[in-house]
Structure 1
Amino acid sequence: MDSIAFYLLLLFSITAVAIPPTSSAATIGVTYSTPGSISDSVQLSPDKIAEKIVSMKIPAVRLLDSNPAMIRAFAYTNVSLFLSVPNPLVPLLASNRSLAMRWVYRHVLPFYPRTKISVISVGNDAISYSPDVSPFLLRAMQNVHLSLTDLRIYKISVSTTFSFFNIVPTAFPPSAAQFQQPNGEVIIRPILQFLERTNSSFLINLYPYNIYRSNFPIPIGFALFEETPFNFRDDLTTGVRYRNLFDMMVDAVISSMAVMGHENLPLIVAETGWPSSGIDAGEVDATMLYSEMFLRALLTHLRSGSGTPLRKEGVSEVYVFELVEKEAKQGIRNWGLLHHNMTSKYSFEFSDGGETRRFKELLIGFVVEVVMLYLLM
């Protein structure tokens, strides 16, 4: 029996080393918006898009235009949906509670819970694109939240999406970051209080590419997660060393929330990515090579569950912009994971394909078989 006990202990020790403990890795999804024009050769129907997303093993999708037909297409797929209320509707939903209820009746009630809806963003970067809408954000969010509550729907959170570039004046040092005024006090503080009361998340569009382009001292490798001896920035106030621009920007948002007393709010990155082509020839770093490098490294970083220096659990969800590239037009950036005909642009798979999980399953099966053999001896 002593030898059996020894072998059993050895096998379980090997298993423990080979199978690391589960980490709090972020959910990684994509954004999708219905294209203005569709290629003659490919019909991008909602069912086709949903089928493609399921085949790619993508667990979450942000629908930028919340098309009801698209919401319906995800019924029974277990793909989590992040819905959006367009900016022009925000003042209407704020001023009229019945209109908010009508929006919920059209976009949520017919599909939930067969379609897994997790978040509703009331407006998207309104401070930048629709500044006149900003004063109506909180009231519209409250009306949508109350409409869901009236229908006894409690598991869908309501928030709004901000853009890092437009609310955080500087990313470095993260410890000194604060929301830009007067919007910080007038718009963002009351929204943070609402999010705290309703157990909702702060939503942020966060593009390292934009910060890199606006700040030339940042080396390209720091923006692309490259592991080299000189790719770091030290926050001298906290003594924290940053190895990539993404974590620095996330921690700048966390510090900005902390200044207002809401440092523990969950954080969702509603959009991020790196363009594969730019608006003009001047965008020399908007290339397929850099786009693939950024996306590969981002996915690896998020799946590691290592979080950021200021928040060990990191962000809860990240949405890559975007699933399908728009048809090529001059003067627009291209971000898609797929060409507009739905073929892949990149050599890597968005999903890890379950290789790690299959390895663990095989290893556990092997250990169980060996244990059973020893017990039968």
Structure 2
Amino acid sequence: MNSVAFYLLLLLLISVATPPSTTATTIGVTYSTPPSISPSSAALSPDRIAAQVVSMKIPAVRLLDSNPSMIRAFAYTNVSVFLSVPNPLVPLLASNRSLAMRWCYRHVLPFYPRTRITIISVGNDVVSYSPDVSPFLLRAMQNVHLSLADLRIYKISVSTTFSFFNVVPTAFPPSSAQFQEPTGEVIIRPILQFLERTNSSFLINLFPYNMYRSSFSIPIGFALFEEGPFNFRDDLTTGVRYRNLFDMMVDAVISSMAVMGHENLPVIVAETGWPSSGIDAGEVDATLLYSEMFLKALLAHLRSGGGTPLRKEGVAEVYVFELVEKEAKQGVRNWGLLHHNMTSKYSFEFSDGGKGRRFVEVLVGFFVEVVMLCLLM
């Protein structure tokens, strides 16, 4: 075999083995420990939940209650873990640096880096559920960030999670979106400055279902990623055509950040989904069929790597709410990917099963064999 042919084969092998420069969004799930203790709840041990996440090939999980036993269960799994500080603790962590250090000692230090903790959200939708706590958010975030630095932990980002519905009053057109005032100026602007300084991400709970229910002008197909003659919205200011509600809401967040001079901050969707049942009979669109349609289309859209019109790389991570349904109760929406007995509710696989990776592996194997045969000639 001549040297030119050999090097051509070698270059082809390298090009196939090298991953593409753009990667699709990381897609994870949320999980919180069931609030009540019952025989069925007890069966959902941390080890069982971690094993389920690994078996479903889910690369990231958001632990809404940051149970230390659950954090430990994800050690050595290669699943990235997103922790949350409960809202009632926010004022305490803000007022007392030693308490922030104590929280890190209990929830981070014993497990990191064996457990791949990547993000800590200080509070979850505090503006909505605990408005009196909002003024403490930034100081609590700073104290947690400084505590991690004191522990020589520098690769865990610190942020807080907002709810789209409570901080972005107008989603359309996205180019005109701004954060709700006075929350935007008083609470969000200084937090954006902190996130910029610390290379952290803006976290948002974003549910197209809620936006769809709030406006009669939004077709169900637009919310479910369906192609159709009426399933689009045009932003006349930018000339952009939106073909799904999810992208429109993401771009409304990006535009709102841009108004405050932080349009380049990474965005993580900390919660999203579509309920399979509603609180009452009036929620006619909270069905298993629509839930499955939304989730399948969302996963396909995110895996395509197409991003949104205002951000070609798209959002960095998306967490589907939620992994396991709570025990059935009247008047509670069901969102889980799995029933409480851990059986799947849906006919599709949440993970793509590494099909793209296996395809590359097959190609690499083929070219390795070709090179070896040529060397033997």
Q: TM-score, normalised by structure 2?
A: 0.94
CA drift at 1:202: 0.4
Q: CA 1:15–1:138 in 2, change beyond 3 Å: closer, same or farther?
A: closer
Which amino acid in 2 is paired with 1:37? S
Letter in 1 for 2:35: G
1:201-216 alignment to 2 at 5 Å? 201-216=201-216
Residues 252-263 of structure 1 mapped to structure 2, 5 A cutoff:
252-263=252-263
Give how far 1:40 is off: 2.6
Q: CA shift at 1:36, angstroms?
A: 1.5
Alignment match, 2:74: 74
Q: Which structure 2 segments of 5+ residues have no match?
A: none
Comparing 66-75 and 355-364, the one that deviates more: 355-364
* CA root-mean-square deviation: 2.3
Contact 1:19 1:360 in 2 (8 A): no
Structure 1 residue 52 and structure 2 residue 52: aligned?
A: yes
Q: Evaluate the alpha carbon distance shift between residue 11 and residue 293 of structure 1 in structure 2; reply closer, same or farther with a 3 A threshold.
A: farther
Matched, 1:359 2:353: no
Is the deviation greater in 140-149 or in 7-16?
Answer: 7-16
* 2:231 and 2:243 in contact (8 A); partners too: yes
Please say if 1:227 is aligned against 2:227: yes
CA offset at residue 370 of structure 1? 2.9
Give distance in 2, aligned partners of 1:152 and 1:66: 21
Contact 1:39 1:341 in 2 (8 A): no
Deviation per CA, 1:124-144, whole angstroms, max 9, x where unpaired? 001100000000000000111
For the residue of structure 2 that corresponds to 1:132, the secondary structure is helix
How many angstroms does 1:39 deviate by?
A: 5.4
Maintained 8 Å contact 2:324/2:339: yes
Q: 1:319-348 CA distances to partner (integer Å, 9 max, x unpaired)?
A: 000000011110000000000011111111
Q: Could you tell me how far 1:228 is from its partner in structure 2?
A: 2.3
Q: Write the distance in 2 (CA, Å) between the matches of 1:200 and 1:7.
A: 46
CA distance in 1, matches of 2:313, 2:359: 25
> For 1:371 and 1:61, how far apart are their aligned partners in 2?
41
**1:163 to 2:170 alignment:** no
Q: Distance in 2 between matches of 1:13 and 1:111?
A: 42
- Equivalence for 1:135: 135
Q: Distance in 2 between matches of 1:91 and 1:15?
A: 53
CA–CA distance in structure 1, aligned partners of residues 157 and 5 of structure 2:
51
Q: Tell me by how many angstroms 1:239 deviates.
A: 0.7
1:75-154 matches, within 5 Å, as 75-154=75-154
Equivalent position of 1:330 in the other structure? 330
Which SS does the other structure have where 2:328 is aligned?
coil
Secondary structure of 2:343's match?
coil
Query: 1:315-326 to 2 correspondence within 5 Å?
Result: 315-326=315-326
Residue 245 to residue 18, structure 1, CA distance change in 2 (3 Å): farther
- TM norm structure 1: 0.94
- Count of residues in correspondence between the two structures: 376
Comparing 13-22 with 62-71, greater Cα deviation is found at 13-22
Counterpart Cα distance in 1 of 2:193 and 2:18: 40
1:34 matches 2:27: no
Which whole-Å deviations, capped at 9, do the CAs of 1:253-301 have from their partners, x for residues lacking one? 0000000000000100000000000000000000000000110011111
